[in-house]
Copies of this chain bind each other. A is one copy, B any other.
Amino acid sequence: MLGRTYVDENCSVARALEMVGERWSLLIIRDALLRGFCRFSEFQRSLAIAPNILASRLEGFVEAGLMEVRTHPDRVGQHTYVLTEKGRQLAPVILALTAWGDRWAAPDGPPVAYQHQRCSGAIDLQVRCSICGDLSATGDLTARPRRTEPA
């Protein structure tokens, strides 16, 4: 989606951004994930982006395996864009961006709360150290190259 420019980076952040780093991408994923949108017209109304850009993003998601095209259950001939498991697993990225935006870019307070659909519980994103359990570990991180072995 971002071309091949990030691909030389042997880094999961760079590779993830190749698929979802393009402008509008994560907002489309957000709408699919949290608003249950699946129709072209729903995304377009929500985001007010040019149809050709939206079409290009949705096609890119299908190519990358983040969404799949399904026929609309009720409307013959209409199709929908539905997140795959690979797409749904971007939820923590959306949640992390939300938490940060709530804290640093929401002068009128957080506009939206995310809930667990089943029990209405608030969704909690926690970063902790697996050894000492420190929850403030993000201020004190380091990256260690891993021996790469086939997944």
Contacts and interface: CB of A to CB of B under 8 A. Distances in A.
A126 B123 contact: no
A89 B112 contact: no
Interface stretch (A15-23, A54-62, A67-75): A15-23
Contact of A116 (B104, B106, B134, B146): B134
A13 B96 CA distance: 9
Given A14-B27, A15-B105, A143-B113, A96 B98 contact: no
Q: Which of A13, A88, A125 has the most CB of B within 10 A?
A: A13
Nearest to A116: B129
A11 B27 CA distance: 10
Contacts of A99: 12, 92
Interface of A: 2, 6, 8-19, 21, 23, 26-27, 30, 33-35, 48, 86, 88-132, 134, 137-146, 148-151
